[in-house]
Amino acid sequence: MYNGVPVLDVHGHVSVPFAANSLLMLMMGSNTPMDSPVGQAKAGPAGVSVEEFHAAAAGHARYMDERTIDVQVIGPRPFLMMGWMEPHLLPAWARYVNDMIHQQCEMFPDRFLGAAMLPQVSDAPDLSNCIGELDRCVRDYGFVAAYVSPDPAGRPADDAGHARAVLVPAVRAGAGAGNPAHRARHEFPGSPVPGRAA
């Protein structure tokens, strides 16, 4: 609460034990998509337990308490969105990340809302390959937003028109479904930040 008003932070990232990312190394090393192990007693090649996931989420909630944040929208960590990954691996990685986001939201349902990671292919002409995962996250998990990047591989397009052609339809589709897209950037120039001069 801030001056008696509940605080909604719309930009947070999922908190998981570091070992949970070992699935990424295994998928990339074997060049093979793998099923999400979230929900198993011991998840992934490192055997991360539900208790370890819960401890990471609890630490995140304590961090919010220290900053008087009531609810936070959490999504993927941008540096782990892996937009430069082989396109056949991206859907499995996005599904795993979204499953971890959902798990954290389920563990603390009054504290976290989910924002989906989309399996964006950097040189795709549009985001049509992302629709299935976005639908799953909204329909099955109740996610309220999605991360969308104009440069998923970290190589900004020379043509700003290409970024608009890819992003604008996605943002419009999300808005039509009542689900705003969250562009994967940490700060927008000119946006007001509490406690800091604009």
Residue 44's pLDDT band, with cuts at 50, 70 and 90, is confident
Residue 116's Cβ-count burial label (10 Å; 0-12, 13-18, 19+) is buried
CB 4 within 8 Å of CB 40: no
Does the structure show a pLDDT above 80 at 40? yes
Residue-level pLDDT at 172: 64
Does the structure show a pLDDT above 90 at 150? no
Pick from 63-67, 121-125, 184-188, 192-196 the range whose average pLDDT is largest.
Answer: 63-67
Matching residue, tokens 């998923």:
152
Matching residue, tokens 């099955």:
140
The fraction of the chain above a pLDDT of 70, given in percent, is 78
121-148 pLDDT per residue, tens: 888 888 889 999 999 999 999 999 998 8
Q: What's the pTM? A: 0.83
Residue 104's pLDDT band, with cuts at 50, 70 and 90, is very high
Q: What is the DSSP string of the chain?
A: -BTTB--EEEEEE----GGGGHHHHHHHHHT------TTSSEETTTTEEHHHHHHHHHHHHHHHHHTT--EEEEE--GGGS-TTS-TTTHHHHHHHHHHHHHHHHHHSTTTEEEEEE----TT-SSSGGGHHHHHHHHHHH---EEEE-S-TTS---S-HHHHHHHHHHHHHHHHHTT--EEES-S--TT--BTTB--
Residue-level pLDDT at 167: 62
Q: Which domains does the chain have, with CATH numbers?
A: 8-183 (3.20.20.140)
Residue 180's pLDDT band, with cuts at 50, 70 and 90, is low
Residue-level pLDDT at 123: 82
Query: How far is the C-alpha of 20 from the C-alpha of 53, rounded, in Å?
Result: 8
Residue that wins the pLDDT comparison between 63 and 193: 63
Output the furthest CA–CA distance in the chain (Å, rounded).
52
Residue-level pLDDT at 165: 61
